[in-house]
């Protein structure tokens, strides 16, 4: 069975369909995982959501910040943004079923020896702790606390992880790291205002994956979220957000079939132009 990792689709279902055709994906024998931000900003969020939902078992998506934004807007706890393209989902006759399915999706996965996240991993977290913390938040989203949690999910504080955190502040740090993180300090303090590439780090901050002593180092990590980062493929790191909706491409990587090939430099990456692309800021 081939396993493909796909970068941020952002509601560009036509690009997703073309990419799956390009790699020869067959749901009877293959599987793909979107690394978050399946919806929003592109013109076909409903179609993209329905495609992955329909292929469940042969397809999966992580929760990204845009997917969580959809859940928050639908719950009435977050106003829509002017640039959102979520109305087709919010007005769909089966919206409740779609949203419930989306809320069941994971925040992190461990597949064939790889850690998969949407955005990043805090330097003090091991792979096992990352997966355990993701599971904590997933259980809240899947249960009766979802509405109350969505009301408390947003905010930049606490800015760093503390083992003593409990409840909403604890879960907020987890969500911010897994779905929003680009830059942090060596002590794990996160920064969320800067969206430039790695050379645009604010003073005292750096890309989360370059922090010395990062406990998840050595395990290959695939992530999306950072379209301005550009192609990045090194031994233990694979960045797959190639700016699909922002005038760029949609990327997919085929993971090796066995657990003993854990060098991201050996992974084939396929990129196709997005036919639904727009210019940044439009």
- Domain of 225, CATH number, reads 3.60.21.10
Average pLDDT across the chain, whole number:
94
CA atoms within 13 A on the CB side of 213: 5
Kindly state whether residue 211 falls inside one of the protein's structural domains.
Answer: yes
Which residues does 80 contact at the CB level (< 8 Å), separation at least 6? 73, 86
Domain that holds residue 181: 3-273
How does pLDDT run across 202-214, given as a tens digit for each residue? 999 999 999 999 9
Kindly state whether residue 89 falls inside one of the protein's structural domains.
Answer: yes
Distance CA 255, CA 90 (A): 34
How does pLDDT run across 173-231, given as a tens digit for each residue? 999 999 999 999 999 999 999 999 999 999 999 999 999 999 999 999 999 999 999 88
pLDDT tier for residue 235 given thresholds of 50, 70 and 90: very high
pLDDT number for residue 280: 41
The torsion defined by the Cα of 37, 31, 20 and 100, in degrees rounded to 10, comes to: -40
pLDDT tier for residue 275 given thresholds of 50, 70 and 90: confident
Could you please report the per-residue DSSP string of 95-116?
Answer: HHHHHHHHHTS-SEEEETTEEE
pLDDT number for residue 274: 86
Kindly state whether residue 282 falls inside one of the protein's structural domains.
Answer: no
139 alpha carbon, distance to own chain's centre:
18
Domain count for the chain, please give it. 1
> Given a cut of 80, is residue 53 above it in pLDDT?
yes
Kindly state whether residue 131 falls inside one of the protein's structural domains.
Answer: yes
pLDDT number for residue 259: 66
Kindly state whether residue 281 falls inside one of the protein's structural domains.
Answer: no
Kindly state whether residue 213 falls inside one of the protein's structural domains.
Answer: yes
Kindly state whether residue 139 falls inside one of the protein's structural domains.
Answer: yes
pLDDT tier for residue 281 given thresholds of 50, 70 and 90: very low
């Amino acid at each position: 069975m081939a396993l493909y990792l796909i970068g941020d689709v952002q509601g560009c279902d036509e690009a997703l369909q073309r990419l799956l055709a390009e790699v020869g994906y067959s749901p009877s024998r293959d599987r793909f995982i979107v690394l978050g931000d399946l919806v929003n900003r592109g013109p076909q969020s409903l179609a993209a959501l329905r495609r992955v939902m329909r292929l469940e078992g042969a397809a999966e998506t992580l929760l990204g910040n845009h997917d969580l934004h959809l859940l928050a807007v639908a719950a009435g706890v977050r106003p829509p943004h002017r640039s959102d393209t979520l109305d087709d989902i919010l007005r769909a006759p089966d919206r409740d079923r779609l949203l419930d399915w989306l809320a069941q999706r994971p925040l992190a996965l461990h597949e064939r020896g790889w850690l998969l996240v949407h955005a990043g991993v805090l330097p003090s977290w091991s792979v096992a702790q990352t997966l355990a913390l993701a599971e904590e938040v997933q259980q809240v989203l899947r249960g009766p606390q979802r509405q109350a949690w969505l009301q408390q999910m947003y905010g930049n504080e606490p800015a760093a992880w503390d083992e003593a955190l409990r409840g909403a502040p604890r879960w907020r740090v987890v969500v911010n790291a897994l779905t929003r993180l680009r830059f942090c300090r060596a002590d794990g303090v996160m920064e969320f205002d800067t969206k430039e590439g790695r050379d645009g780090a604010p003073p005292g901050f750096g890309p989360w994956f370059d922090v010395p002593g990062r406990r998840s180092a050595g395990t290959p990590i695939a992530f999306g979220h950072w379209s301005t980062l550009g192609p990045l493929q090194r031994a233990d790191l694979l960045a797959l957000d190639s700016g699909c909706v922002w005038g760029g491409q949609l990327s997919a990587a085929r993971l090796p079939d066995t657990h003993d090939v854990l060098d991201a430099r050996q992974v084939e990456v396929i990129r196709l132009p997005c036919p639904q692309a727009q210019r940044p800021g439009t």
